[in-house]
Amino acid sequence: MIGLESVYILTGLMFGAYALQHLFDRSNPRRWRSASFWGAYAVTFIAGSYLPDVVNGILVLAMVILAGFGGLKPGATRTSTPEQRLDGSRRFGNLLFVPALVIPAVTVIGTLALKGVIVAGRPLVDPAQVTLISLALGVLAALAVAFALLRPPVGTPLREGRRLIDAVSWAAALPQMLAALGAVFVLSGVGKVVASLVTSTVPMTSGTAAVVAYAVGMALFTIVMGNAFAAFPVMTAGVGLPLIVHQFGGNPVTMSALGMLSGFCGTLMTPMAANFNIVPVALLELPDRWAVIKVQALTGVLILAFNIVLMTYVVF
Amino acid sequence: MLVLSGVLVIIVGFLIGLNPLLVVTVAGLVTGLAAGLDPIAILSAFGKAFVANRFVGIVWLVLPVIGVLEHTGLRERAQALIGRMHAATAGRLLLAYLLVRQSTAALGLTSLGGQAQMVRPLIAPMAEAAEERHGPLPEDTAHLIRAHAAAVDNIGVFFGEDIFIAIGSLLLIKAVLADNGIQVQPLDLSVWAIPTAVFAFLVHGARLMLLDRRLARCRGKQA
């Protein structure tokens, strides 16, 4: 069975190749730092499942120290010139879009088609992870198509991949770091404290007040935890069910559906949701870390207000 | 209450612009210590969760493909394509992407998009190119358009996916309610995602139209 482990090894090998490129980049005086950072990240992908938790923790700590004090520097880039790119754009025309579209196409088709495939009595791919495995297959298919159509030099994917990952830099590991922080929050009982804060500060004398507390609490909790999935069980068990449903006789279906969407409004406004709000800042090379959140915040607030109004009308 | 000190570390750290990896690590340490965990236990919890969440790092596999295409002229091609469409403006283009992203997510096709796969190589350069037809872009205008491109991808998927009955968030709602003795069907939940989805499209669509007006005003000032 093809599981996530093989995709992790592939990803680890890619990061290992970036580490080696940094190691041999004599033009970068800080090449050891970049090589060690990407090397440690590669090890967590390749060997993370077999190493003891504390060793993985030490690898993560090493990455934090390498990136956190002094930072990573991009390596030397030998990319194409603007003239070469214009020339390529004219020569290949809209064929250039084909490999880019192969990735989502294969991901979607693979997700739908591979789920039920049984080989020798066992599923061919792990049914729970079929989307991520299909994404990896999509990348390999897109690379094959790109080589067939565009015939770039053999080293181009890893060299250009390293140029892009240097632009993303430490932000590449931030979503996983925040998930790790979330785990520490759970161990430490942060959720219960936030939920009790919400219930104790808002006067719950009417159904409307309870709805406001629940929806705003979902958004705030999500801003703190970076994830509406972490907020939902705590807020629903702490505020939603005891007050809105049991005390004021509200409908749990509409409450939950709109509560989750209120959490998503919080996701639009928090740097803790790094893969949505911080990673694109790095990917798009924006100088302001808050640039994406600034654009999204107003929409998030307006949708939250809409959810509250709608919930007060339909839940009771 | 003391365990909230980690949240305070996050807020202060992000606001004064320290490296987020460092801020998150210190916040985890402070929170864990406040809850009475020993440092080795905190380090182990960090390592365990970091490794358990490697699936979010798989998306970086797409960078080599995007790199090859950018190297050969993908952005230039996207710009040339948009340059020929005279009705295209940055706001209208992003509005069209919002509609596509929301409706495909509503059908469960959440992987037809994404910041690395779609926004960086295609959507952001196209939106910039639509505005560039009126002359070279000042840097902060280009940055504003790019941030809007990223936002549309997020808003589209967040307020589309809950209409699909097999999405993770609806399954979570079903499980949490079932734990509390309430049985619900995903279909009943997904129906209630539709009004918010429509509102999200209207309100963010209106903001994209306002973006076009703002861009036009900025052009006027320069000329």
Distance from CA of A205 to the nearest CA of B (A): 23
Could you tell me the two tokens for A44? Answer: 């967590």
| Per-residue pLDDT at B158 | 96
Interface contact A111, partner B, CB < 8 A: yes
| Per-residue pLDDT at A216 | 94
Instruction: Out of A8-17, B36-45, B69-78, give the one with best mean pLDDT.
Output: A8-17
**Amino acid code (one letter) for B136:** P
Has residue B223 got a pLDDT over 70? no
Helix B39-52, helix A174-188: angle, nearest 10: 130
Each residue's pLDDT tens digit, A16-31: 999 999 999 888 888 8
| Per-residue pLDDT at A125 | 85
Mean pLDDT of all residues in B59-67: 93
Of A54, A92, A294, the CB nearest to B44: A54
Q: Model's pTM, two decimal places?
A: 0.91
CA–CA gap between residue A33 and residue A20 (Å, rounded): 12
Has residue B40 got a pLDDT over 90? yes
Of the listed ranges A84-93, A172-181, A194-203, B214-223, the least confidently predicted one is: A194-203
| SS3 state at B218 | helix
By C-alpha distance, the chain B residue nearest A156 is: B68
Tell me which of B111 and A276 has the higher pLDDT. A276
Mean pLDDT of all residues in A121-135: 85
| Per-residue pLDDT at A99 | 93
Mean pLDDT of all residues in B82-101: 93
CB contact under 8 A, B71 and A161: no
Could you tell me the two tokens for B89? Answer: 């403006």
A 204-233 residues inside an 8 A Cβ radius of B: 224, 228-229, 232-233
Interface test with A, best of B26, B37, B56, B144 (most A CBs within 10 A): B56
Tell me which of A168 and A298 has the higher pLDDT. A298
Helix B139-161, helix A291-314: angle, nearest 10: 30
CB contact under 8 A, A96 and B72: yes
Query: DSSP letters of A100-141?
Result: HHHHHHHHHHHHHHSTT-EETTEESB-GGGHHHHHHHHHHHH
CA–CA gap between residue A194 and residue A235 (Å, rounded): 9
Each residue's pLDDT tens digit, B139-185: 999 999 999 999 999 999 999 999 988 788 898 999 999 988 999 98
Tell me which of A118 and A199 has the higher pLDDT. A118
